[in-house]
Amino acid sequence: MFYALCFIVITLGYSKTVRSFSTSMKHELSSKKLEDVKLWISAGPREMFTASELEVLKHYLDGGGNVLVMLGEGGEVKYDTNINFLLEEFGILVNNDAVVRNAYCKYFHPKEALVSNGVLNREISRAAGKVVTGIIEDENVGNNAQALTFVYPYGATLSVMKPAIPVLSTGSVCFPLNRPVLAFYQGKEAGKLVVLGSCHMFSDQYIDKEENSKILDMVLQWLMTDNIQLNQIDAEDPEITDYTMLPDTGFLSEQLRVCLQEDDVYLRDITSLFDMSLLKFSTDTLPQVIR
């Protein structure tokens, strides 16, 4: 048993207005329930999917269905789910980490990460209504990573491998640096998958912050229409860095460590480093106390 959100979306040329019928499900997922579904959304699942349910979703995607999956900080471990078992089939993995901004700007909580240079594909900027300097089809015009500014609250990073394509990253001011947070996958039968590492990004509290609503419009456009074709140059070589694990500085600070300068000479007898006269027991003052 699990909690999921299914959307049957009917678009009329895909304008800003989308007529949709939504229904929440708390029962086991089956192929019959997905027969007329145009878009299946899972926002922060809190329970394990069964093997048959994951197989149903895989066949749904392979058959041309559209899926949007959103998780949050801590990944599968915190949410107690196994959605990565499905996502790994398409080259995407939600990591068990958290995105933190390393410098204060506008939002008080470090996990409300404001990203101002996280666009990895120039077509994302164009679809969101941002004008990119120069001719966008010109190969000499590079991607403008600062075209969109968004707040990424309480989210995790993604690991993305081909054929999936990362389109948004954490930028250069958040830890981990320049790691994917939004990824697209399109199958051979036109099935589309979008994975976002923060289910809070499109919630009521944050949808109107920065340009989050434009990103949501762009995601729905890509899922439900063929109006957005990702730039292949940016898709082949996205500006992301290797995933680097940071040490737990809070835990390490509690451990005893030797403090020596690099040019200090290491002594053979380390006991000479201790001053034993600082604390000792003796009867030297006993006569004075008796008197």
* pLDDT tens column, 75-134: 999 999 999 999 999 999 999 999 999 888 888 999 999 999 999 998 888 888 876 554
| Residue predicted with more confidence, 247 or 47 | 47
Shared domain for 275 and 159, answered yes or no, is no
Supply 275's token pair: 């001053």
Supply 288's token pair: 């004075």
Shared domain for 134 and 272, answered yes or no, is no
Apex 55 CA angle, 184 and 4, nearest 5: 70
Shared domain for 214 and 277, answered yes or no, is no
Shared domain for 21 and 63, answered yes or no, is yes
Shared domain for 48 and 188, answered yes or no, is yes
Q: Is the pLDDT of residue 13 over 60?
A: no
Total structural domains in the chain?
2
**In-domain check, residue 168:** yes
Q: What is the pLDDT of residue 31?
A: 84
Shared domain for 138 and 75, answered yes or no, is yes
The domain that contains 60 carries what CATH number? 3.40.50
| Residue predicted with more confidence, 27 or 288 | 288
Shared domain for 166 and 262, answered yes or no, is no
Q: What is the pLDDT of residue 69?
A: 95
Q: What is the pLDDT of residue 22?
A: 54
Shared domain for 137 and 177, answered yes or no, is yes
Shared domain for 255 and 163, answered yes or no, is no
**In-domain check, residue 242:** no
pLDDT in tens, 143-152: 777 788 999 9
Q: Is the pLDDT of residue 165 over 70?
A: yes
Shared domain for 281 and 196, answered yes or no, is no
Q: What is the DSSP code string of the chain?
A: ---EEEEEEE-SS--S--EEEEEEE-S---TGGGTT-SEEEEES--SPPPHHHHHHHHHHHHTT-EEEEE--TTHHHHHT--THHHHGGGTEEE-S---EESS-BSBSSTTEEEESS-B--HHHHHHTTPPPSS-TT-TTS---TTS--EEEES---EEE-TTSEEEEE--SSEESTT-EEEEEEE-TTS-EEEEES-TTTTSTTTTTSTTHHHHHHHHHHHHH-S-----HHHHHS-------PPP-HHHHTTS------TTPPPPS-GGGGS-GGGS---STTHHHHH-
pLDDT category at 21 given cuts 50, 70, 90 is very low
- Residues of the domain holding 224: 4-236
**In-domain check, residue 244:** no
Range of 64-73, 132-141, 143-152 with top mean pLDDT: 64-73
Shared domain for 155 and 269, answered yes or no, is no
